[in-house]
Amino acid sequence: MSRYTGPRLKISRRLGDLPGLTRKKSHKTLAAGEHGQRSRKPSEYALRLEEKQKLRFNYGLNEKQLLKNIRTAKKVQGSTGIILLQILEMRLDNTIFRLGLAPTIPAARQLVNHGHILVNNHNVSICSYQCKPGDNIKIREKISSKSLVKKYLAFPGLANMPNHLEINKENLTAKINGIIERDWIALKLNELLVVEYYSRK
């Protein structure tokens, strides 16, 4: 299953607020489609599937990538759900978004793919690159790169920046000081249901 490129507001209406996917807000209160009008109790499977879909659409992953990250999280000692969220939050595209250098994760992915981002003075064009504490992120010394990022910085996607990140808006440089804590993750999600969904895979 490839990455989703369809209407984002439709997904946001179905799954709730996804800050990484879109900044648009729907004025409609009911879910999309004729069946969204009915109020029925969802099954346990439906609840787990919904939480998994929130994770997938917010971080812009396909099914194969998410499954790979789940397997990586299971190998690390600690709570699998929290470790999974930390792995996803430390991706380069998400880090760019959380720094306010892009309004959404798809916009951050485009910045990375087009070579506007330097990590430790090396050009990194892989969105899934895992940032580590101590990494320095910089915008490439090009007028087009800097003007684009300054335009994005004027209207950041999220109001609060996590405490493990720091940014110098004048020089357009940033530093990662640690691993993100669970309290700073912007997505409203029950990560245990995601782990349960993949427990048989």
Tell me the CATH number at 108: 3.10.290.10
- Per-residue DSSP letter, 130: B
Q: Is residue 50 included in any domain, yes or no?
A: yes
| Residue 2 falls inside a structural domain | no
DSSP annotation of 122: E
Same-domain pairing of 100 and 77: no
At residue 153, the pLDDT reads 84
Task: Check whether residue 174 and residue 110 sit in a common domain.
Answer: yes
Residues 74 and 103 in one domain: no
Residues 168, 102 share a domain: yes
Task: Specify if 148 maps to a domain.
Answer: yes
**One domain for residues 34 and 82:** yes
Residues 79, 16 share a domain: yes
Domain coverage including residue 107: 91-178
DSSP class per residue in 63-115: HHHHHHHHHHHHHSSS-HHHHHHHHHHTBHHHHHHHTTSSSSHHHHHHHHHTT
CA atoms of 119 and 139, how far apart (whole Å): 9
Please list the pLDDT of the chain residue by residue as tens digits (201 residues).
Answer: 456 666 666 777 777 777 767 666 666 666 666 655 556 787 888 889 888 888 888 888 888 999 999 999 999 888 888 999 999 999 999 999 888 888 888 888 999 999 899 999 999 989 999 999 999 999 988 888 888 888 888 776 666 788 888 988 888 899 999 888 888 887 888 889 888 888 876
Residue 122 sits in the same domain as residue 78: no
Q: What is the Cα–Cα distance from 158 to 25, expressed in whole angstroms?
A: 14
- Determine the 3-state secondary structure of 26 from DSSP: coil
Same domain for 136 and 66 = no
Domain holding 74: CATH number?
Answer: 1.10.1050.10
Q: 30 in a domain, yes or no?
A: yes
Is 29 contained in some domain? yes
Beta-carbon neighbour count of residue 159 at 10 Å?
Answer: 7
Both 45 and 108 in one domain: the answer is no
The DSSP secondary-structure symbol of 43 reads P
CB 117 within 8 A of CB 92: yes
Residue from 36, 10, 160 nearest 98 by CA: 160
**Residue 48 falls inside a structural domain:** yes
For residues 55 and 116, state if they share a domain. no
The verdict on 14 and 71 lying in the same domain is yes
Based on the domain organization, do 125 and 148 belong to the same domain?
yes
Does some domain include residue 190? Answer: yes
Does residue 3 lie in a domain region? no
Q: What is the enclosing helix (H) or strand (E) of 117?
A: strand 117-119
Count of structural domains, the chain = 2
